[in-house]
Structures are given as C-alpha cells and as structure tokens.
C-alpha cells in the first residue's frame, strides 16, 4: 500500500497578507461611526451670558442671553444612530428659561430649535436672546464664528468687538 501524502503547504506571506486585507476591508465597510459632538463653553460677560457650541468639523453656534443663571447642556451620539443631538437650557433665578436642541450628522450642518421655533442655520449661527416681561425675543444674525474659540478670552473679545453683540451686552448691563 502506498502512503498517503499528508504534507500541508504553509500559506505564503503574500497569501496571508491578501487574506488580512480582504478581512479588514470587509469589516471596515460595515463599521459605523459615532457622529461628532461639540465643545461647549459658557460664561458671563458683564451682565449678559453666552453659550458656544463648536464642532471641530466646522459648525459653531453661539447664543447670547440677557440674564445670567444656570446652564445645562447635554449631548449624545452612538454608532447606532447617525445623528448627534446637543441640547440644553439656560434658566434665570426668576424662572425665565430658554431651551435649545441641535442635531447633526457631520458637525458641519445641523438643525436648530430654540424653544418652539426651528431656525435655518444658513441664515446665521449667532443668536441674541432677550426675555422681557415673560416673552422670548430671538434675533438670528449671520456671522463667521470660525475664529471664536471655546475660551473666555476669545468669546469675550468676540462679544465686545462685534457691533450687534456689544450693543446687546451694553443694553443688558444698563437694565440690570
């Protein structure tokens, strides 16, 4: 009886490399990514205050308020949902409150809702929010916020040098 050849050929490095890349590419095609979230910064300038939401991908939204008070921000995103949601509110000691919600898939474009109104961010990402006599007045302004960093110095400098924001800050300080 002749012997059975039981020699097993060892795969060559080229074959192993090809198998590795085929596996990697198939896994990479199925991978989901968490949508990007913002850096959030808030502070007070004189008697006004602000919240800046800034994504590394390019989107920046800044809201100025005519009151100080408590700020709450939160956000969530996951590999199971392509949309990152940032939300929060600003509330004064006397109960005045403004809520916001931003949704983005890419950190470049977003939908924006402040209280019950949806805003088209192509018309501006700067908001001046006044709350006289139980009303909420929101003014949307088109500004390039790309140079505003999420730091006190940068936001304060922007606010004091921007013609509309500086008037807003001055008006708020005169009312207080």
pLDDT per position as a tens digit, 119-143: 999 999 999 999 988 889 999 999 9
Model confidence at 75, pLDDT cuts 50, 70, 90, reads confident
In 55-88, which positions are buried (b, 16+ CB within 10 angstroms) versus exposed (e)? beeebbbbbbbbbbbebebeeebeeeeeebbbeb
pLDDT in tens, 10-55: 555 565 455 555 544 444 445 466 778 888 899 999 999 999 999 9
- Coil, helix or strand for 28? helix
The pLDDT of residue 96 is 92
pLDDT tens by residue, 63-72: 999 998 899 9
The whole-angstrom separation of Cα 84 and Cα 37 is 6
111-114/117-119 β-pairing: antiparallel
Indicate the average pLDDT of the chain: 85
Residue 128: exposure state from Cβ atoms within 10 A (0-12, 13-18, ≥19): buried
Report the length, in residues, of the chain. 176
Domain boundaries, the chain: 39-175
């Amino acid at each position: 009886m002749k012997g059975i050849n039981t020699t097993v050929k060892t795969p060559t490095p080229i074959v192993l490399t090809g198998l590795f890349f085929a596996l990697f590419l198939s896994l990479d095609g199925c991978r989901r990514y968490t949508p990007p979230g913002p850096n959030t910064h808030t502070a007070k300038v004189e008697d006004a205050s602000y919240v800046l939401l800034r994504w590394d991908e390019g989107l920046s939204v800044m809201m100025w308020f005519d009151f100080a008070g408590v700020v709450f921000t939160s956000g969530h995103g996951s590999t199971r949902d392509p949309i990152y949601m940032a939300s929060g509110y600003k509330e004064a000691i006397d109960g005045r409150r403004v809520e916001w919600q931003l949704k983005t898939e890419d950190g470049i474009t977003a939908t924006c809702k402040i209280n019950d109104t949806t805003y088209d961010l192509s018309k501006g990402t700067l908001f001046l929010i006044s709350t006289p006599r139980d009303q909420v007045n929101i003014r949307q302004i088109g500004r390039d916020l790309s140079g505003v960093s999420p730091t006190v110095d940068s936001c304060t400098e922007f606010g004091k040098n921007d013609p509309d924001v500086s008037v807003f800050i001055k008006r708020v300080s005169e009312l207080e």
